[in-house]
Each structure stands twice: as C-alpha cells, then as structure tokens.
A and B are shown apart, each in its own frame.
Chain A
C-alpha cells in the first residue's frame, strides 16, 4: 500500500521490493515452504472465524430460553463451525505443516510436484472462500436461507430441495468438493515425495516418524475422499438434475448418505489425528533427550490404525438400528482401534520415562496431549458400545468426546508444533513466557468447557438444540462451559499476539535451537529457498545426533 513507482526510483542500490512484488511472489510461488505457510496462515484465519462462531453459540447456550441467536442462525453457526474446523482449519493446517516439513526432513529441495502443490493449496483456499460467500449469496434466486444449516454431516432428507430451498446446501456441497480436490492433490504429492525424493542413505526404516504418519494420512485421504466426493456429486444430481439417490419417497435411501458420509467421516478424524501423532513423535523425544521408544512398533501401529479406521464407520450409525450383526461388528472393530492406539501411548510414555525432560512449551502441550488423548479415547470406547450409544448418541456427551480429541489432542499438538517449528520457519523463538501463559490458560479453559460438557450429555441434553427450558437443570453447567470457552479464546489471542510480537522481537533462533536430531535443523532458520546447498547424506534415524556425537553415533545401535 505504500508502494509507488517513485519509491523504486528513489532507492539507490538494491531496488526495494514493491508491495505488489511481494504479492506476486506469493501468488506464483511453487516453493513448498511458502505454500506450507500459506496453508497454515489461511487455516489460522479460519480458526479465528470458526472460533467466533463457537463463542456465539456458547453465548446463546449460556442461559435457558435465551434469544441471543435465532434458531435459524444457530443452525447456520453449528454447521459452519463444524464444516470450517474440519475442512478449512484441520486439514489445511496439517497439510501446511506436512508441506513445510516433509521435504526438509527427508533432505529434498521441494515436493515432487511443485505446481500441483500450488494448485492444491489454491483450490482448497477458494473452496473456503466459496463456503463463506454463502452468507451473501446463499439465498440465490429463491430468497430463502443463507449460510448452510444442515449440520456438518448434512443428513438426508434435510438436504433435499424440499427442505433446503435456495442454494445454501449447494454452497456446502460444492465448497467441500473443491477442497477435496486439493486434499487429494496434496496427499498424492506427499506420498510421491516421501517415496521417491529421500536423500542419500534415508531408507524407509530411517524415515522420520513424522513422514511415516504423513504417508498413512495421505493414503487415508485417497480412500476417504473418494466416497465423499461421490456422495457430494450424487447430492448435486439430486438437487440440480432431479435424481433420487437420497430421496426416500422416490425409492432412494437416506441411510445410503450416512454410509457414504461416515465411510469418509471416520477415516477423516484419523486423517486429522495422525499428523498430531506425527508432531508428538518428533517433539517428545527431543524434549526427553532420548530416541523414540520402539520405532518399528510405532510404524506398525500407525499403519494398523490406518487400516482399522477404514472399518469402523458405522459406529456413527448405531442409533439407526444396524441389527445385531452390525452392532457387534462395529463395536468390536471400534474397540480394536484402541490396541494400536494404546501401543502408541505406551511408547510415548516409555520415551519420556527416565529421560532428561525439558518442560519447554512444546513439551507442555505434548504432555497435555497425552493425557487428554487418553481420556478422549476412553469416552470413544464407551460410545463404541452400541447400547451405551443408544442412550448417549446425539447428546452433548458425543460433543464432549470429539472435542476432547479435536481440541485436547489435535489442537494441542498443533500448538506444540507451532512452538517447536516456528523458530525454523521465521528464525526467531516464540516467547516462552507468553507460551506458558498460553498453555496454562488454555488448559484451564479447555477442561472447564469440555470436562463439564460430558455431564449435560449424561443428563440427556441433545446436541444442536438452540436453547433449553430452565427446569432441566442444565443452565449452570452450560454457563461454566461458556466461561471456559472465553478463557480459551483469550489464551488463543495470547498465542496470536506471541506469533506477531516474536516475529519482530523474538530471540534469534539459529539453525538448531532445540538441539534436535532431524534434517530440518541442519539448515538455516528460515531455510534458504533451496533448503540444502549440499545434498545431505544420512546414516541413521538421527543424522544430527551422529554429527554432534561422532564418538557414539546411532549407527552403532540401529
């Protein structure tokens, strides 16, 4: 905005870059680091937007018979909140970190398909914009409806033209379709990059665990996004072309939609959680000063989780009435997921055990993650018992369960990842002091909100009600949840402030501020455009350890 032609003429030697030059550089970049940062930045913006939507809902629910939001707006809010958080915060932020880190960690100069990478980012980004354009354009020609209001899983027949006139549902369908194209593109890119562009000496058994987890996540993305896209296209045909896939009156099936959605939806939650595991695998060892415990078991467990998570989707459909065989199968399958998941938790604990632990902010968030993920898994197992689910399905207990995972586990590891890799990305440390405030405040708010949320669920409060009568005894609990929500929001603001402030005044990080072991720390912070001037060569899983300790390299032990 301060850019003028004269500025250039005036400046003497190095022609200062105009504001527009910077914009052009970012718009045309095919550099995996910049694309990664754009993914992350765009996800953070949507995180704030969807966070505001959550707070609006919390205000509405903080008192019985409240009229802060109308029922219609409330429906839009929970739909937009869920859709945004899953498709335009969770996936892009995780793909952003993957984009940034994977080539650096395997000693490559870029992703396998740099232009596809840019395309994938932009189409996801435009998908998000299209979704939010619905606030303006959702009424379409019919003057009915605004933002989508059919819930993040958009069950039939609610999405039929009859019940959802106007175009709000179409905005939901099409924006997810677009972002799905981007997700598949990035997944393809990550897999090919990891399989073909590892530096010399980096066999698959020396691959950083983060990259292994991105392989599994990317496979799940392939498998899950297909059914979702197919379902979205069928829904479009129903709505635009008069077909009847999900129209029960005309011989279609509403349950068909559920199957399609959840055969995407459950793998999707693992697509989101596996990168969180990935961060934990890198951060916990470095801050325990020990190599990861049981590398092969960790790889096997990750691959197993990927497989099993493809066969549990109907635990989201117990209340439909699956019949005894269906109930038994999906209960058992769901419970089996906890075996490899348990292996992981024990391995993380064993990594920490006896280590020389440094309680820096990344480690604090990782420890929070361990505890909270454990509890979330336990409520998950409770819900996997069909008769229990018949009581609590669609109640606030479920909402508490999945927020425990999505916030307590995934968002915690995302925070940890920021504190850990921000110095690499921007060359400056985040403030530890603000970081600790952020952690403790957020943890307090998180437990206030989401521990409490289990109780109204057990008391029978259904999810997605815009208000409740005073005589149910849920008011106090909901008030506590709302207060916790605002505390989390304040902590989040601290975090945003920390990122802005540290960018300008943070302590210089240097190439390797954490005394870490993987290749991204072998280059400068931020890394040069080409990552490594000389192609690295590795001989073990911890190349930087070998370099720092030539007297006792890992190669002797692996």
Chain B
C-alpha cells in the first residue's frame, strides 16, 4: 500500500480487466488518518476542562487545532488515497451480480479536463483587476456626468473609511485629494481582487449558471447588501450613492470578471461542462466511487 495524493485521474490504471480474464484491479481507498480521533479527543478535553481544570481545556484546544490542520491537509487540495490491489479472478468477475458493461471507459472529457483544469491564483487576481477597472470606468463616468469631476467616485469610496467625509460638500468631494485617491484605490483594489479570486474559484463549478450568477445575480445581491449596510451603518454616505449607477458598475465588474476567468479556464466550453462535478469543483476523490455514483441515477 502506498500513499499518494492522486492528482490525475489515471483511467488506464483504474480500468477493469477485460471480461473473463484474471486481472488485478487497482482500487483507491481513502488513506487512514489519525486526525479525526485526535479532533474528537481534543473536543472532549475542551469540554471536560469545564468540569476539571482549565489546563485540560487548553490541551484540548491545542489538540483540536492541530487535528483540524492535519485533517485539512489530508483532504486539501486533494484527498489522500491508498492504493489497494484486488485480484479479480474470472470466477469472481462472473460472479459480479450481473454482467456489467465490461471495462468502464474513462469519461471522455476527463483527459481534456486535466489539461484545462489550471486553477491559479493568477486568473483570480487578473479577473479582479479587470473587473475593478471596468467598475472604475463606470463609476468615473458617473462622477463626470453628475458632478463633472474625475475624482468624485474615488473620494466617495474613500469616504467609507473616512466617515467624516460623508457629510462633506459635493464641491469637496469633486476636488482632488491625494489622501482620498490612495485610500479609495486601496479599498477598491483589495475588494476587487478578493472578489476576483472568489469568481475564479466558484464560476467553474456551475458553468452554466456563471453568466447569470456572476454577471447579474451576484452584483445585485452585493448591491443589496451594500445598500442595507450603508443605510444602517453610514446613512449619510448611503444617501450620496446613486444606487442605479452603482448596480451598473457592479454588473460591469461581474461580466468582466466572468469573461476573464473564462479566458483562463475556458469553463464555458461544452467540453468543460461535460466534466463531472468533482473535477469542475477542483476536487479529486475516490474516482471509482464517484464515477459509479454519477452513473447510477437512472
């Protein structure tokens, strides 16, 4: 038994021997791990400390944290497997309850999928940067149209951290302020990149929904959140935002980000969409079971 993180779906290795012949079936099973037990012990000690001694809780917390890390590393980025070799005699094969369709063909798209499945931080950052730029364009256009100012939008963004700016005059916000430019850019870039990463990680999971979800729905939900949040936390600021423009700028972000992620991962292609869920989601696990499971539903 050897342990290894199984990255590529090695179809040849996993295929059954042809019907009627003796063969060796190579089966992937999750590899043993001590961490679930340690986590259970940690949680128990954590709780037991309440009725014994705080030091016990502390020990439990240490166990629990260590075990959580260990457990995560056991499954991320890829579940650890051990490989078991099962001899399959002709008789056993015949004894399989009913004739199955012989060697299971590797899912057609899987091989292509391997090539394409390059989840990189980079594509997320790119998507965030591009989306952020698109959004800035719309926002600046808003500033120009409404206040004939290049700086209004970015100052408004900065006002979310300098709350005293919320009730500054329009003239003030239309002017250039280095402080405002830096703060606004920082906030804008940070949020854009984070959302970009989120897009790169999630859009490929449900490619068919991505345009609607990432391009329209996400921005709408985000606008709703921002609206209600500013309304309760910073009402003066909220009152200054033109929410229609806001939505447009968010949609600009969303569509651009989806587009960029797709340039990198090509998840909108039919080929990609035919991949099984775990591959689209960037997970690999016991493929024998997974593919069996996905074939079953009739």
Using a CB–CB distance below 8 Å, which chain A residues touch chain B? 25, 27-31, 108-110, 114-119, 121-123, 125-127, 129-130, 133, 137, 140, 167, 170-171, 174, 177-178, 181-182, 196-203, 236, 240, 519, 522, 528-530, 532-539, 543-544, 546-547
Contacts and interface: CB of A to CB of B under 8 A. Distances in A.
The 6 nearest A-B residue pairs measured at CB: A122-B40, A119-B36, A126-B44, A123-B40, A118-B36, A28-B32
A1 B231 CA distance: 69
Given A30-B32, A198-B296, A119 B39 contact: yes
B167 to A, nearest CB: 43
B29 A534 contact: no
B159 to A, nearest CB: 42
A126 B98 contact: no
A28 B71 CA distance: 12
Nearest to A108: B289
Contact of B33 (A28, A167, A171, A522): A28
Nearest to A236: B50
**Size range of the chain B interface in the assembly:** 35 or more
A546 B37 contact: no
Contact of A522 (B34, B48, B74, B97): B97
A30 B33 contact: yes
A197 B44 contact: no
B292 A534 contact: no
A533 to B, nearest CB: 4
A533 B96 CA distance: 9
B30 A202 contact: no
B43 A533 contact: no
Nearest to B96: A534
Nearest to B71: A115
B95 interface: yes
B86 interface: yes
A533 B32 contact: no
B97 A544 contact: yes
Contact of B32 (A25, A532, A543): A25
B266 to A, nearest CB: 28
9 contacts: A29-B32, A118-B37, A119-B36, A119-B39, A122-B40, A178-B47, A519-B97, A534-B93, A534-B100
How would you classify the secondary structure of chain A's contact residues: helix, strand, loop or mixed?
helix
Interface string B227-267: 00000000000000000000000000000000000000000
Interface in B39-77: 39-41, 43-44, 47-48, 50-52, 71, 74-75
Contacts of B44: 123, 126-127, 129-130, 178
Contacts of A181: 43
Given A110-B30, A110-B289, A538-B98, 16 more contacts: A109-B289, A118-B33, A122-B36, A123-B44, A126-B40, A127-B44, A174-B48, A178-B43, A178-B44, A182-B40, A202-B296, A203-B298, A240-B50, A530-B84, A533-B92, A534-B92
Contact of B88 (A117, A122, A199, A533): A533
B175 interface: no
A327 B286 CA distance: 53
Contacts of A538: 97-98
B133 interface: no
Given A197-B289, A198-B296, A534 B25 contact: yes
A119 B97 contact: no
Contacts of A198: 293, 296
Given A130-B44, A178-B47, A119 B37 contact: yes
A109 B97 contact: no
A201 B293 CA distance: 11
A529 B286 CA distance: 14
A114 B37 contact: no
A30 B32 CA distance: 6
B25 A533 contact: yes
A546 B296 contact: no
A109 B29 CA distance: 8
B84 A529 contact: yes
Given A115-B35, A119-B37, A534-B93, A174 B50 contact: yes
Contact of B27 (A109, A121, A140, A546): A109
B36 A530 contact: no
Contacts of B75: 115
A543 B97 contact: yes
A345 to B, nearest CB: 32
Contact of B97 (A129, A137, A528, A546): A546
B93 to A, nearest CB: 6
Given A536-B96, A546-B98, A109 B40 contact: no
B100 A200 contact: yes
Nearest to B104: A535
Contacts of A130: 44, 47-48
Nearest to A178: B44
Nearest to A35: B36
B16 interface: yes
Nearest to B88: A533
Given A533-B25, A544-B97, A122 B41 contact: yes
A537 B25 CA distance: 17
Contacts of A196: 293
Contacts of B16: 534
A110 B29 contact: yes
B29 A529 contact: yes
A126 B289 CA distance: 31
A163 to B, nearest CB: 17
A378 to B, nearest CB: 42
B181 interface: no
A126 B41 contact: yes
A556 to B, nearest CB: 14
A539 B98 contact: yes
A27 B30 contact: no
B87 to A, nearest CB: 7
Contacts of B41: 122, 126
Given A174-B48, A530-B84, A537-B98, A115 B30 contact: yes
B50 A115 contact: no
B100 A535 contact: yes
Contacts of B29: 31, 109-110, 529-530
A374 to B, nearest CB: 36
A240 B40 CA distance: 23
Contacts of B47: 130, 174, 177-178
A265 B88 CA distance: 48
A170 B35 contact: no
Q: Which of A182, A200, A533 has the most CB of B within 10 A?
A: A533
Given A533-B92, A538-B98, A123 B43 contact: yes
Contacts of B93: 534
A115 B74 contact: yes
B77 to A, nearest CB: 16
Contacts of A519: 97
B100 A197 contact: no
A535 B32 contact: no
A107 to B, nearest CB: 8
Interface string B277-294: 000000000101100110
A537 B98 CA distance: 6
Contact of A530 (B74, B86, B92): B86
A432 B167 CA distance: 89
B36 A536 contact: no
Contacts of A532: 96
Contacts of A116: 36
A463 B141 CA distance: 81
B34 A537 contact: no
A99 to B, nearest CB: 14
Contacts of B98: 201, 536-539, 543, 546-547
A184 to B, nearest CB: 13
